[in-house]
Amino acid sequence: MMQEEAYIRERPRKWKDFLAHNLNLDIRKYKRNLKKLNRGGLFLFTFFLILALFPSLFAPYSPTERFIPYEAPSTAHLLGTNDIGNDILSELVYGARISLMVGFASASISTLIGLMIGLFSGYFRGTPDELLMGFTDVVLIIPKIPLIIILGAFLHPSIWILILVLGLLSWESIARVVRSKTLQIRETGYVKSARCMGFSSFHIMVSDIFPNLIHVLLPKFMLATASAMISEASLSFLGLGDISMKSWGIMLSFAFSRGGFIRDMWWWYLPPGICITLCVMFIALMGFGFEGREKENGKRGVDSE
């Protein structure tokens, strides 16, 4: 009897248990760790956000103040100075604002465009859907970075143009996701009854469909922010950024072109690189966290509160 009970208990072992026992790979533990990482991501991202919002609290000097150039790290200048004698730590702190602003502003533009196109396409279906999704496919296959380089070369390099270009060229995946979710929500009873009761399409889209898209949009927005920050850094490194507004990408670019690498001044080129990596990683972690929560909600049924 006891043996049989043990056997019954043993039976419902899942593939996760199999992995945990045989390959020492515990998925559940990994999931728990991922949750911790998400929380950590949120915490550290908040740190960067505070840095960006109140740089004067953390930066020892103004980013334009000049000291002796090419100085190594010391107690006066924790990360040394650059070619024109600016304090690198102060530049780094003030650079957070520019990098995050580019990331968030262009992600807002792309999320807004993606939301409108996806919502319209999924709700109305038929010809508008085919036209809009056809257009989305065309935008999807355009190689982004080469196009931005060409645009950046022709247009006056400015941070606003960079934000606009990055925003206008990265909405396709958001539009696709929003469209598929809208198609799903459109067939639910509450949308069908709203249509039946005579609510306008605009009212249904804003009041019934949009609130149910937020869980999809939020992770997409975070991932778009991370991706825009990387694009900004790449473009700035290639010399297409706005040199009057020093972002982390511009700092890297200057370190490369003005002797930071040749003189092996790691305190000049490593910190902005590390900051970009960490910030993008934290934002991505938050995005994955929101995405995971959405999946769990999907399994349980939407929890309204």
Partner 1 sequence: MSLKAENLSRKYGSGLLGRGKCIFRDVSFELEPGKTFGLMGPSGEGKSTLGRIISGLESPTDGAVFFNGNPLSRMKKAEYTTFRRKVQMMFQDPTDAFNPRKRIKHSIFEVLNLLEISGTERIRCTKEILKTTGLPEEVLLRYPSQLSGGQLQRLALGRILLLDPEYIVLDEPTSALDVSVQAQILHLLKNVQAEQGISYLLISHDEAVIRFMSDSCGELENGQMDLIEV
Binding site for partner 1 (CB under 8 A): 188-190, 192-193, 195-199, 207-208, 211-212, 301-305
Is the Cβ of residue 97 or residue 186 nearer to partner 1 in the bound state? 186
Nearer to partner 1, 195 or 258 (CB): 195
User: How far apart are the C-alpha atoms of 247 and 229, rounded to whole Å?
Assistant: 10
* Residue among 146 and 189 whose Cβ is closer to partner 1: 189
Q: In the bound complex, what is the minimum distance in angstroms from residue 211's beta carbon to partner 1?
A: 5
Cα 250 to Cα 237: distance, rounded to the nearest angstrom: 6
CB neighbour class for 240 (10 Å; exposed up to 12, middle 13-18, buried from 19): buried
Under DSSP, the state recorded for 86 is: B
Q: Kindly state the DSSP code that residue 208 receives in the 8-state scheme.
A: I
Closest distance to partner 1 from the beta carbon of 300 (Å): 9
Nearest distance in Å: CB 197, partner 1: 6
Least distance from partner 1 to the Cβ atom of residue 31, Å: 24
Complex with partner 1: residue 185 or 284, whichever CB lies closer: 185
CB closer to partner 1, 17 vs 294: 294
Q: What share of the chain is helix, strand, coil (3-state, %, to 5)?
A: 75, 0, 25
**Residues ≥6 apart with Cβ < 8 Å to 120:** 128, 132, 205
- 4 vs 305, beta carbon nearer partner 1: 305
Residue with tokens 């100075």: 81
Nearest one of 113, 116, 107, 118 to 162, comparing CA atoms: 107
- In angstroms, give the least distance from the CB of 224 to partner 1: 23
> Smallest gap, in angstroms, from Cβ of residue 186 to partner 1?
11
Cα atoms in the 13 Å half-sphere on the side-chain side of 218:
16
Nearer to partner 1, 60 or 211 (CB): 211
**Closer CB to partner 1, residue 5 or residue 303?**
303
Contact 106/163 with Cβ under 8 angstroms?
A: yes
CB of 256 to partner 1, least distance (A): 49
Nearest distance from C-beta of residue 208 to partner 1, angstroms: 5
**Structure-token pair, residue 46:** 């908040």
Residue among 251, 255, 258 nearest 236 (CA): 251
d(CA 269, CA 276): 11
Alpha-carbon span 75 to 43, nearest angstrom:
28
Q: Report which residue type is found at 241.
A: G
